[in-house]
Amino acid sequence: MKTMQPIKTEKHYLNGLYFEVKGTGEPMIFLHGIGSSHAMFEPQVDFFSLTNQTITVDLKGNGKSESVPTSKYLSVHFESLLEVYKFLGIEKAVVVGVSYGGIVAQSFAIEHPDKVKGLVLIDTYAQLFPKSLPEVRLTLFGALILAASWMPSKMVLPFFSRWKKWDLAYKQLEEVFQNWRAKDVSRQLLEVFGMNLLEKVEKLNIPVLAIVGDAMETVVQKAKEIEMHFPNCKLRIIKDSADPTNLCQPDEVNDEIFAFMTEDKEDKRIQEILKEKAEPMPAVEVVR
């Protein structure tokens, strides 16, 4: 079999939104956690760009995208995603969201169900008002994240020392704490506090894969809550992992998403493609 050619990455800046596109095939849109960027999906892009078109977005107010002076960031995110769909000629896509990105993904699917072929929800929530003592503690952890966005990174990182065991995840946290924007992070978090999507997601008849790390029991319970309310949802709990599970245990997460995306994992053509290791190649920048 001939060696595959390296897959180019296209960089786009569309009406203040930064996103990258790599690979061809069924489109997958990746939405990052709060204060993060497209970079948190590098292990997933490396894997899925061999068989799919991967689109990694910097939601506005994050990463390389512009800030927006609004308290209604979700509407801004929906508008930006629709522009990406139109720009790339996408009718439907599998939308993958981690933590805050998972809230955006669910909300987008509720508002635009015709645009979503499936959802992959990682370490995320569909109901954000605390109803028990463990959920109050989880809310306080969210409040810590909000407060941390206003603090120097060297003061924040000690609270996340347990993540050092997961190298990729800890490096991502370091990057987030050094680069996030306090006003934008605060506006995005405050908008979704108290949100309850459970009744609305019950009406979504699309396949859903919920993935959660086992390190925080309350987050696991919130994932089970998602499984109970989506009509067509599978739940996978990943051992020795925490938010962001896609970076704590990237290989396991990739395998779970791959199984969700493909009915026949033994498809020889797909397996041969996945065995090929494309060499890294400089990105091709396309600015709009």
Q: Return the pLDDT at 147.
A: 80
Q: How many residues does the chain have?
A: 288
Q: Return the pLDDT at 4.
A: 60
Residue 145, in any domain of the structure: no
CATH number (domain holding residue 107): 3.40.50.1820
Residue 72, in any domain of the structure: yes
Going by the DSSP 8-state scheme, the letter that residue 127 receives in this structure is: B
Structural domains in the chain (count): 1
Residue 93, in any domain of the structure: yes
Residue 28, in any domain of the structure: yes
**How far, in Å, are 33, 110, 186, 280, 285 from residue 230 at the CA level?**
21, 12, 29, 38, 39
**How far, in Å, are 5, 102, 202, 262 from residue 197 at the CA level?**
43, 12, 9, 28
Residue 30, in any domain of the structure: yes
Range of the domain at 43: 9-127+196-285
Residue 45, in any domain of the structure: yes
Q: Return the pLDDT at 283.
A: 53
Residue 280, in any domain of the structure: yes
The DSSP annotation for 195-244 comes to -B-HHHHTT--S-EEEEEETT-HHHHHHHHHHHHHSTTEEEEEESS--SS
22 DSSP β-pair partners: 9, 54
Between CA 52 and CA 60 the distance in angstroms is 24
Residue 163, in any domain of the structure: no
**How far, in Å, are 54, 143, 154, 205 from residue 58 at the CA level?**
13, 23, 24, 27
Residue stretches of the chain with pLDDT short of 50: 1, 268, 277-278
